[in-house]
C-alpha cells in the first residue's frame, strides 16, 4: 500500500513540472488583437404580474370556530412569606415651645421707676375659665429743670370670667384703676411779675398732685347660630380728686338677617355719658357744671362678594340727645366700602366713605392727656364724612404694604389747648399755666398714610409707617395736632436665647397758645418743636420659664416737650425679668 501511494505522488509531480515548462516561454511576444462590438447590450424587463390583494379561498371543508371558555382553578398554596411593614421616613421637627397660662414681670430703673405685671388664667372646667390681671407703673420723678414734683403712678386690677359653649360664648370683666399725676409743667417765665422772694413762696405753695379713679364693668356675648352675632356692653365710673364724677354706659348689639343668599348686617349703638365738674376754670359758676349726652345709632349695611371685588353699602342714622342743654339733633352718615383685586393679593385697590357721631368723655380725654384741668365742657364730635382710597398688597411673599389717602370733615373736634393763667396765690393748683383745657373747632384734614412690613426670616422682622396731615380750621389753629408722625421698629432673634429690638419715632411740630394775664401781653401762638425718640431692648431666655430683659428709652437723652411746658424724662434704663408658670 505504501509503494502505490508513493508512485502516485511521483507521477503527479512529474506531470506538473512538464506542464509548467510548456506554459512559460521566455522572450515570446503576446501581440495585439482587435475586438469589434456588433450591437450594444440592451437589457429588457420582463412583464410582472400583480398578486391579487384579496385571494379567493375555497371554504369547502373549513370547520366553524369553537367557543372557548376560560376558568381559573384556585388551588391554595402554602407559603411562609411575611411582608415587612413599611417605615415612613422621619422628619426632624423643631421642639414646640411650651405655652404657660400665667406670667409675672418685674422691672426697676432710674428715676425710681417700677414696672410690675401679674397675669393668671385658670380653667375651671371644659368650657369656663377665670382670669386676673395686675399692672403697676410708677416713677419717683426727677426731671431736670422742673420746680414741682413730677412723680406718677398707675395701678390697675382686672378680673374676668368666661364660658365657651358650642352655641354661645360670653365673658364678664370687672376692673379698677388708680392713677396719680402732678401738674408740674410751669411756664418758663413763671413768676416774672413778682419779686424773687414772692416767686419762690408761690412755687413752694403749689401742690400739683391730683388723682383719678376708674371702675369698669363690662361683658361680651357671641352667638354661633342666632340672628344676633354679638352684644358688647360696658359701664364706667370715673372720678378725680377735685370732686369731678362721670358715668358712661355703652351697649352695641350686632345682628344679621339673610335675604336672598345675602346678609344684612346691622349695628345698634346706645352710648350715654353724664357727669359734673364742681367749678369752671374761672371759678365764677354758682352750680356744678353738668352734662348728659346720649347717642342713639343704627348702622345697617349690605355686603356683596364677587370673585375679585367686595362692595358694602350702608348708612348710619344717629340721634344725639343733650339732656342738659336741649340740643337734640338727627344725623345721617354714609357707610360705603369697596375693594377690588387688581393683581390677586399683590395689589388690592380699596375706597369708601363713612361717618359717625363720636362720644367724648372725661375718662377718654385723661387717657390721652393726664394734665387736664377738671373744668371741661363736654360735647360729641360729628365726623360728617371721611373719604378714603388706597392700595395694599404684597411686594413679595414676606413684604406687605399699605398706602392710603383720605379727607376728613369733622365738626366740634376736641382739641387740647393750654389754659391762660395768673400769678395769684389764691389760684387753684392747676391754674398756674400748668394745665390744659378742651376747645372745639370744625377741622378738615387731608391725610396720607403709608406702611411697610417685612418678615425677612423667622428671626428678623421690620416695619415702618408714616402719617402726614394738612389741616384747615375755622378757629385760630389746630391746637396740638402734629403735621407728621413717623415710626419704625426692628425685632431680631439673635440666637435661641438672645433677642433684641429697636423702636424709633418722630413727631412733627404742633401749635399751642398761652397767656400770662398779669403781664398785660397779648397771647402769642407758640410752636412746639418736633422731636425724635429711640428706644431699644435686649433679652435673654434663661430657660422656657425665665427671661431677663434690659430696656433703654429716650436713648438720645432729649428733654423734648410732648405738651407745652411738660418736658419728658431723659435717658431711661429698666432692668427686669419675666417668669412664666402654671398652677
**At residue 8, does pLDDT exceed 90?**
no
Average pLDDT over all residues of the chain: 87
CB 140 within 8 A of CB 152: no
Which percentage of the chain shows pLDDT scores above 70? 84
Residue 84, pLDDT score: 58
Q: What is the pLDDT of residues 43-95, one digit of tens each?
A: 554 444 444 444 444 444 445 555 555 555 555 555 454 555 556 555 556 66
Which of 23-37, 56-70, 379-393, 540-554 is predicted least confidently?
23-37
For residues 218-226, average pLDDT? 90
Which percentage of the chain shows pLDDT scores above 90? 74
What confidence category does residue 21 fall into, taking pLDDT thresholds of 50, 70 and 90?
Answer: very low
For residues 377-395, average pLDDT? 96
Coil, helix or strand at residue 202: helix
Nearest residue to 379 via CA among 246, 268, 244, 273: 273
Residue 166, pLDDT score: 87
Residue 68, pLDDT score: 58
> From CA 530, how far away is CA 48, in angstroms rounded?
111
Which of 55-69, 150-164, 389-403, 441-455 is predicted least confidently?
55-69
Residue 25 C-alpha cell reads as 516561454
**At residue 582, does pLDDT exceed 70?**
yes
Q: What is the pLDDT of residues 428-453, one digit of tens each?
A: 999 999 999 999 999 999 999 999 99
> From CA 58, how far away is CA 330, in angstroms rounded?
110
CB 253 within 8 A of CB 269: no
Q: What are phi and psi of 7, to 5 degrees?
A: -60, -40
For residues 236-240, average pLDDT? 98
**At residue 35, does pLDDT exceed 80?**
no
Residue 509, pLDDT score: 96
What confidence category does residue 3 fall into, taking pLDDT thresholds of 50, 70 and 90?
Answer: very low
The radius of gyration of the chain from alpha carbons, rounded to an integer in Å, stands at 48
More confident residue, 52 or 188: 188
- In this structure, the dihedral spanned by the alpha carbons of residues 366, 372, 374 and 377, taken in order and rounded to 10 degrees, is -80
**At residue 156, does pLDDT exceed 80?**
yes
CB 450 within 8 A of CB 402: yes
Q: What is the pLDDT of residues 543-561, one digit of tens each?
A: 999 999 999 999 999 999 9
Question: How far, rounded to the nearest angstrom, does the alpha carbon of residue 434 sit from its chain's CA centroid?
Answer: 37
For residues 358-380, average pLDDT? 97
Residue 469, pLDDT score: 97
Residue owning grid cell 390697675? 156
What confidence category does residue 27 fall into, taking pLDDT thresholds of 50, 70 and 90?
Answer: very low
For residues 176-205, average pLDDT? 94
Coil, helix or strand at residue 3: helix
CB 554 within 8 A of CB 567: no
Coil, helix or strand at residue 197: helix
Residue 31, pLDDT score: 47
**At residue 241, does pLDDT exceed 60?**
yes
Which of 40-44, 107-111, 465-469 is predicted least confidently?
40-44
CB 415 within 8 A of CB 511: no
Residue 249, pLDDT score: 97
CB 195 within 8 A of CB 524: no
Residue 514, pLDDT score: 94
CB 175 within 8 A of CB 158: yes
DSSP string, 5-71: HHHHHHHHHHHHHHHHHHH--TT----------SS------PPP-PPPSS-----TTPPPPPP----
More confident residue, 55 or 105: 105
DSSP string, 188-229: TTTTTTS-HHHHHHHHHT---EEEEEEEEEEEEEEESSSSEE
Q: What is the pLDDT of residues 301-320, one digit of tens each?
A: 998 888 899 999 999 999 99
For residues 143-162, average pLDDT? 96
Residue 259, pLDDT score: 75
More confident residue, 93 or 174: 174
What confidence category does residue 15 fall into, taking pLDDT thresholds of 50, 70 and 90?
Answer: low
What confidence category does residue 219 fall into, taking pLDDT thresholds of 50, 70 and 90?
Answer: very high
Nearest residue to 365 via CA among 317, 320, 415: 415
Residue 51, pLDDT score: 45
For residues 565-572, average pLDDT? 96
Residue 331, pLDDT score: 97
Residue 125, pLDDT score: 87
Count the Cβ atoms, other than its own, within 10 Å of residue 305. 9
More confident residue, 136 or 258: 136
- In this structure, the dihedral spanned by the alpha carbons of residues 558, 563, 567 and 570, taken in order and rounded to 10 degrees, is -40
Amino acid at each position: 500500500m505504501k509503494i502505490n501511494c508513493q508512485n502516485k505522488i511521483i507521477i503527479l509531480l512529474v506531470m506538473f513540472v512538464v506542464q509548467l515548462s510548456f506554459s512559460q516561454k521566455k522572450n515570446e511576444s503576446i501581440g495585439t488583437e482587435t475586438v469589434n462590438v456588433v450591437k450594444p447590450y440592451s437589457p429588457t424587463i420582463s412583464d410582472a404580474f400583480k398578486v391579487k390583494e384579496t385571494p379567493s379561498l375555497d371554504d369547502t371543508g373549513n370547520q366553524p370556530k369553537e367557543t372557548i371558555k376560560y376558568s381559573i382553578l384556585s388551588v391554595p398554596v402554602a407559603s411562609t412569606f411575611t411582608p415587612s411593614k413599611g417605615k415612613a421616613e422621619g422628619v426632624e421637627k423643631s421642639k414646640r415651645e411650651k405655652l404657660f397660662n400665667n406670667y409675672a414681670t418685674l422691672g426697676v430703673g432710674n428715676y425710681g421707676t417700677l414696672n410690675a405685671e401679674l397675669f393668671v388664667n385658670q380653667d375651671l372646667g371644659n368650657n369656663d375659665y377665670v382670669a386676673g390681671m395686675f399692672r403697676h407703673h410708677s416713677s419717683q420723678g426727677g426731671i431736670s429743670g422742673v420746680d414741682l414734683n413730677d412723680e406718677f403712678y398707675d395701678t390697675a386690677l382686672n378680673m374676668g370670667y368666661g364660658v365657651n359653649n358650642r352655641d354661645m360664648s360670653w365673658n364678664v370683666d370687672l376692673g379698677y384703676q388708680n392713677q396719680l399725676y402732678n401738674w408740674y409743667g410751669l411756664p418758663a417765665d413763671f413768676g416774672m411779675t413778682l419779686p424773687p422772694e414772692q416767686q419762690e413762696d408761690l412755687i413752694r405753695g403749689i401742690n400739683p398732685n391730683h388723682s383719678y379713679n376708674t371702675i369698669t364693668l363690662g361683658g361680651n356675648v357671641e352667638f354661633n347660630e342666632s340672628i344676633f352675632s354679638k352684644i358688647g356692653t360696658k359701664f364706667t365710673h370715673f372720678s378725680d380728686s377735685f370732686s369731678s364724677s362721670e358715668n358712661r354706659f355703652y351697649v352695641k348689639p350686632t345682628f344679621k338677617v339673610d335675604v336672598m343668599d345675602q346678609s344684612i348686617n346691622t349695628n345698634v349703638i346706645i352710648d350715654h355719658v353724664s357727669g359734673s365738674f364742681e367749678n369752671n376754670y374761672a371759678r365764677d359758676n354758682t352750680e356744678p357744671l353738668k352734662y348728659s349726652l346720649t347717642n342713639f345709632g343704627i348702622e345697617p349695611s349690605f355686603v356683596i362678594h364677587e370673585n375679585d371685588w367686595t362692595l358694602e353699602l350702608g348708612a348710619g342714622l344717629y340721634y344725639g340727645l343733650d339732656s342738659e342743654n336741649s340740643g337734640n339733633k338727627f344725623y345721617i352718615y354714609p357707610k360705603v366700602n369697596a375693594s377690588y383685586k387688581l393683581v390677586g393679593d399683590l395689589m388690592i385697590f380699596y375706597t369708601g366713605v363713612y361717618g359717625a357721631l363720636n362720644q367724648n368723655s372725661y375718662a377718654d380725654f385723661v387717657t390721652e392727656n393726664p394734665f387736664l384741668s377738671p373744668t371741661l365742657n363736654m360735647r360729641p364730635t360729628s365726623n360728617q364724612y371721611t373719604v378714603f382710597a388706597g392700595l395694599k398688597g404684597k411686594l413679595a411673599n414676606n413684604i406687605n404694604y399699605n398706602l392710603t389717602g383720605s379727607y376728613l370733615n369733622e365738626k366740634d373736634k376736641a382739641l387740647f389747648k393750654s389754659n391762660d393763667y395768673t400769678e395769684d396765690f389764691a389760684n387753684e393748683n392747676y391754674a398756674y399755666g400748668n394745665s390744659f383745657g378742651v376747645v372745639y373747632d370744625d377741622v378738615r384734614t387731608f391725610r396720607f398714610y403709608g406702611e411697610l412690613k417685612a418678615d425677612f426670616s423667622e428671626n428678623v422682622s421690620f416695619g415702618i409707617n408714616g402719617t402726614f396731615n394738612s389741616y384747615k380750621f375755622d378757629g385760630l389753629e389746630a391746637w396740638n395736632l402734629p403735621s407728621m408722625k413717623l415710626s419704625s421698629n426692628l425685632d431680631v432673634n439673635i440666637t435661641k436665647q438672645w433677642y433684641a429690638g429697636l423702636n424709633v419715632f418722630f413727631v412733627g411740630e404742633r401749635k399751642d397758645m398761652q397767656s400770662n394775664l398779669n403781664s398785660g401781653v397779648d397771647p402769642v401762638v407758640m410752636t412746639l418743636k418736633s422731636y425724635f425718640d429711640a428706644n431699644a431692648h435686649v433679652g435673654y431666655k434663661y430657660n422656657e420659664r425665665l427671661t431677663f430683659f434690659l430696656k433703654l428709652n429716650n436713648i438720645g437723652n432729649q428733654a423734648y416737650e410732648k405738651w407745652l411746658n411738660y418736658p419728658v424724662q431723659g435717658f431711661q434704663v429698666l432692668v427686669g425679668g419675666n417668669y412664666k408658670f402654671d398652677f
